[in-house]
Structure 1
């Protein structure tokens, strides 16, 4: 490909237009965001469903804490491979197809979770659900970066995720009523998560392929038509621009997975990559260790199943609020400062949380932690997706994001070990361990 084409988010030579980066929000952008919000809704619903049904499985199936830890761990192993696969596949067949295939995949296995006749098949289905969830997420992170205007993409990423996260307190409230109602009440929660198939029907009509991906494949005419849909008031002509070499332009060629990984660890990006891996691992492990285990630990430490579920459901209302608040700051003053401030506040409040035994105080502090954790998570997504140039963005993002899932998979097994040597009075130590 001769020169830097007009839709790249990387530095552009004089005379080139950064069409999508400079676009104004229009109906096509909002349709894209509706699909993304719905995908996040079912993604997050499927991701946190197990935390709501796990206490019921210990009661009705007689499973151990170690088995719950194994399920959580295997789910994150599935996510690890989903990250890699989704990033690779979207570079091969495109963002749109991979996104929709991933939604269909995790929706199918969510339904199968509800139909599982035994804990062995449940474990397999849960692992495959995790595979589809993260395959979709890693594509969505890049997809939104390549479609939305640069000046506001962080805000819209946060708003779409926040809107999707409204499903978490919703499913929490439903679980609080349905799960204790019968021995098979937990199955209905998975069936609700599987209704994400509605996204396929809307996505086939509303989603457009990423013009950046099309251009990377030499499909300029198709990219031009799509860009024109996003910029109806501007005459778009990338065929001519892409075919005229510009002095000083950077030559961008297709990059395979191995070559891309070599590049993100090259001297040019090694320092950035190490910082991103550290950031993603710390934030991801703390987030999922804290919230995936909250209902089960509360139940184990003396709260009834009903109390543990409603306390967790109330805390989960912090998710969308945290992302809506993050939308107000993520495009102002950069990404790094909010990430640092949020992370420090989470650490301080988690220590306070671990000392509590009064239900409403647990809910209140847990709610604030959830607000902060979800805020830092969405800012991290934007920061990560913007950290590499287009030709290695998906591979780099997928690989780094997967490292957090890999570490979390191992950390999930540690919680049952802690519970073997701790009682209720030691809950504070365990809470701090889950957030570190």
Structure 2
């Protein structure tokens, strides 16, 4: 009986898979390969998100649209993003991170390609709503995936790097547009063909990206996730010779969306919502309108695309700048304010 009790105690004391992943001193070679794929997925996402902004002046000229019509088409993507972020989070919690990321990538790629064959404002608006839904669903879940599949002391820097690679898609799309659109009145369609290129990375991800270890463990699938963690530990041992003891991050519990608006989280929810609102207006809203407004104020399409291409370069170093302090400040703030935060 004593032996049975000791065995039960040992099982209870066994560290979680999430804790074992977080003790890794650095990203392993396997995790770096994941990071390449995640960065590529984000790159095509951001390129496609900004595709219509660079196509808008040419679309307006070919279809004789008003500025108001362009506003409706621009808003279509953002409305789709609102729907996609909500649906993506629900799907990811229910069916897993990996397949939500891949499914969203296939979804937005298909409708981005459909945009290339649009014949008028109505069908293009519908396609942009559906494209936006897939784009934002993918981003929201991908960032959660990064937080769950890398050591906790690296999460901020890994997310900053992933975003920097993704934001590089904006200047790449801008410069592609700069050289392609002036070649013909319908050349803008090639922008959406390029935006659909994310499907290639999605196909590769089917075989190369595993399901989130943390999600599997929280949903009773730890046995399936254990080999992934064991592989990472072997790689880390070969690099560092020894690993620190795991430190638990706290139990993983399921929660309802309504809890975000309860007493414990309402302040954080409101602050985050306000910050993201200003981010969307100041960055994405500005980028979405700038090419059209420059043309409307007398610049040629080529001049407009040249200026916007140059401005778009600033996004990448901005994300990389966060690399310098994001993990240090985040951890210091959380540790130093743990008693105060626990009340919220």
Poorly superposed stretches of 4+, deviation over 4 Å = 2-5, 248-253
Matched, 1:46 2:43: no
Residue 31 (structure 1) aligned to one of 18, 30, 33: 33
Who is 2:254 aligned against? 254
Who is 2:211 aligned against? 209
Distance 2:252 2:39 in 1: 32
Residue 285 (structure 2) aligned to one of 279, 289, 307: 289
Output the aligned Cα RMSD: 2.3
Matched, 1:120 2:110: no
Distance 2:249 2:325 in 1: 33
Q: Which moved more, 1:44-53 or 1:218-227?
A: 218-227
Structure 2 unaligned runs (5+)? 1-11, 238-247, 334-340
Who is 1:230 aligned against? 232
Measured at CA, do residues 121 and 225 of structure 1 come closer, stay the same or move farther in structure 2, by a change above 3 Å?
Answer: same
Q: Do 1:33 and 1:160's aligned partners in 2 also have CA atoms closer than 8 Å?
A: yes
Distance 2:42 2:92 in 1: 18
Q: Do 1:22 and 1:149's aligned partners in 2 also have CA atoms closer than 8 Å?
A: yes
Query: Displacement of 1:118 after TM fit?
Result: 1.6
Query: Displacement of 1:80 after TM fit?
Result: 0.7
Who is 1:93 aligned against? 95
Query: Displacement of 1:50 after TM fit?
Result: 0.6
Q: Do 1:42 and 1:196's aligned partners in 2 also have CA atoms closer than 8 Å?
A: yes
> What SS does the aligned partner of 1:267 have?
coil
Measured at CA, do residues 57 and 155 of structure 1 come closer, stay the same or move farther in structure 2, by a change above 3 Å?
Answer: same
Matches within 5 A, 1:335-346: none
Q: Do 1:75 and 1:130's aligned partners in 2 also have CA atoms closer than 8 Å?
A: yes
Who is 1:373 aligned against? none
Query: Displacement of 1:35 after TM fit?
Result: 1.0
Query: Displacement of 1:75 after TM fit?
Result: 1.0
Measured at CA, do residues 54 and 250 of structure 1 come closer, stay the same or move farther in structure 2, by a change above 3 Å?
Answer: closer
TM-score normalised by L of structure 1: 0.68
Query: Displacement of 1:164 after TM fit?
Result: 2.6
Distance 2:332 2:290 in 1: 29
Q: Do 2:17 and 2:226's aligned partners in 1 also have CA atoms closer than 8 Å?
A: no
Who is 1:158 aligned against? 160
Query: Displacement of 1:4 after TM fit?
Result: 10
Who is 2:240 aligned against? none
TM-score normalised by L of structure 2: 0.85
Please give the per-residue CA displacement for 1:46-76, whole angstroms capped at 9, x wherever unaligned.
0011110101111111111111111111211
Query: Displacement of 1:213 after TM fit?
Result: 0.8
Who is 2:57 aligned against? 55
Distance 2:130 2:332 in 1: 34
Query: Displacement of 1:311 after TM fit?
Result: 0.3
Q: Do 1:228 and 1:234's aligned partners in 2 also have CA atoms closer than 8 Å?
A: no
Query: Displacement of 1:229 after TM fit?
Result: 2.3
Who is 1:19 aligned against? 20
Matches within 5 A, 1:342-381: none
Structure 1 unaligned runs (5+)? 9-17, 236-247, 338-387, 389-436
Distance 1:267 1:290 in 2: 35
Distance 2:278 2:79 in 1: 17
Distance 2:236 2:309 in 1: 47
Who is 2:5 aligned against? none
Measured at CA, do residues 250 and 331 of structure 1 come closer, stay the same or move farther in structure 2, by a change above 3 Å?
Answer: closer
